[in-house]
């Protein structure tokens, strides 16, 4: 039975509509075809982000307002689901999980990965300043909108945000390591990378780079090395199932502190996403790639002006989404109040 308490937490255009329409079974929530189409578009944006090393799909989910629901949907694949599945009670198994939500988002993600990979790779190789500028604007704007929706900013909240920022800042500046290609390490790489991919500000692909497995896994994809891919995927599934439950518990028990840390993750990731960089001569990583440091533009140019326009565009997109979320929140609350008034 459905009872309404309506709590909305709108963060940077993403509306955590924990519509305390708290349902006895939230996975039974059905959407219209239009709503699922919107979810697929949001998944498309997440997939486009995942293609870019250094940009987290979790960040995009955070910006787009589906982060908490994504976590809860993945968490719905639990022991009850497995018990129903192995008992061949397929209807009960499907009714227990948020498969419609995940399928809509998943279709969008895979569509983006397969359709935009070549385009974004070309942009990163040939127009890196422009693509990084757009993502920089998105994330900076998100930081401003996130700060408005924490219950309060206390010294401890600032400390947790600073800790998250410091950890990510150091992480994205690390030099990729040389690591073994053994099954146990591939399994661990998949588990850690998928956990990072869920966290805003930390790119799962970049974690694979740090662990020295990005090129190895990419070659496995190109060479159809299914054994290697199976080991990495198994690690990803194990890591995702275990980590999601922990993250969901943190969001429910320590909401402000968790959001502060996640916000810090996004802040720290700006070190990687800063558009203007300079390669250091004679300093390379274990794959022979030149190390880079962030710099300011050396002179005003058309490219700099276009990059700044893209930063502003990223800003405007996030703030416009935040405006729409606030408008939708007020409209939904007004409708629910009217419904309750008529019911009384």
Interior angle at CA 122, CA 230 and CA 218, nearest 5? 15
Q: Express each pLDDT in 184-219 by its tens digit.
A: 888 988 888 887 677 765 667 667 766 767 767 777
Residue 48 CA to residue 64 CA, distance in Å, equals 13
| b (16+ CB within 10 A) / e for 85-119 | beeeeeeebeebbbbbbbebbbbbbebbbeebeee
What distance in Å separates the CA atoms of residue 177 and residue 209, rounded to the nearest whole number? 8
Helices 128-147, 255-273: inter-axial angle, 10-degree rounding: 160
Give the 3-state secondary structure of residue 293: strand
pLDDT digits (tens, 9 = 90+) for 231-277: 988 998 888 888 888 887 887 888 888 888 878 887 887 887 788 88
317, burial (CB in 10 Å: exposed 0-12, middle 13-18, buried 19+): middle
Taking 80 as the threshold, does the pLDDT of residue 36 lie above it? Answer: yes
Q: Is the pLDDT of residue 10 over 50?
A: no
Directed axis angle between helix 155-172 and helix 255-273, to 10°?
30
Give residue limits of the domains in the chain: 3-343
What's the burial of 173, exposed, middle or buried (CB within 10 Å: 0-12/13-18/19+)? middle
Please return the burial class of 48, using the count of CB atoms within 10 Å of its CB with bins 0-12, 13-18 and 19+: buried
Q: How many other C-beta atoms lie within 10 A of the C-beta of residue 184?
A: 10
Q: What is the mean pLDDT of residues 306-319?
A: 88
Report the pLDDT value the prediction gives residue 203, as an integer from 0 to 100.
64
CA pair distance 339, 19, nearest whole angstrom: 15
Q: What is the reported pLDDT for 14?
A: 37
For 150, list phi and psi in degrees, rounded to 5. -75, 150
């Amino acid at each position: 039975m459905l009872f309404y308490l309506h709590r909305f937490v709108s963060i940077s255009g993403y509306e955590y509509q924990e519509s305390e329409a708290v349902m006895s079974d939230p996975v039974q929530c059905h959407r219209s075809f239009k709503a699922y189409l919107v979810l697929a578009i949001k998944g498309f944006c997440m997939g486009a982000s995942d293609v870019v090393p250094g940009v987290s799909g979790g960040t995009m989910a955070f910006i787009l307002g589906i982060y908490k629901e994504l976590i809860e949907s993945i968490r719905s694949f639990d022991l009850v689901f497995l018990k129903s599945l192995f008992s061949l009670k397929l209807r009960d198994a499907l009714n227990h999980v948020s498969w419609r939500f995940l399928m809509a988002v998943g279709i969008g993600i895979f569509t983006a990965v397969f359709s935009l990979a070549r385009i974004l790779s070309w942009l990163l190789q040939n127009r890196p300043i422009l693509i990084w500028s757009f993502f920089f604007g998105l994330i900076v704007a998100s930081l401003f909108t996130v700060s408005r929706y924490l219950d309060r900013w206390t010294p401890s909240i600032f400390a947790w945000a600073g800790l998250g920022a410091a950890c990510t800042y150091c992480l994205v500046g690390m030099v990729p390591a040389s690591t073994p290609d053994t099954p146990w390490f591939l399994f661990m790489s998949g588990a850690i990378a998928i956990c990072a991919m869920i966290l805003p500000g930390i790119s799962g692909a970049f974690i694979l780079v740090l662990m020295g497995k990005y090129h190895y896994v990419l070659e496995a994809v190109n060479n159809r090395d299914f054994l290697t891919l199976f080991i990495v995927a198994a690690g990803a599934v194990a890591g995702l199932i275990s980590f999601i439950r922990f993250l969901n518990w943190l969001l429910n028990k320590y909401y402000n502190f968790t959001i502060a840390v996640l916000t810090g993750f996004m802040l720290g990731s700006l070190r990687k996403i800063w558009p203007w960089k300079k390669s250091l001569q004679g300093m390379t990583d274990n794959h022979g790639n030149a190390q880079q440091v962030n710099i300011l533009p050396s002179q005003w140019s058309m490219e700099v002006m276009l990059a700044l326009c893209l930063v502003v565009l990223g800003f405007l997109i996030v703030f416009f989404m935040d405006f729409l979320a606030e408008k939708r929140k007020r409209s939904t609350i007004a409708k629910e109040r009217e419904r309750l008034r008529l019911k009384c």
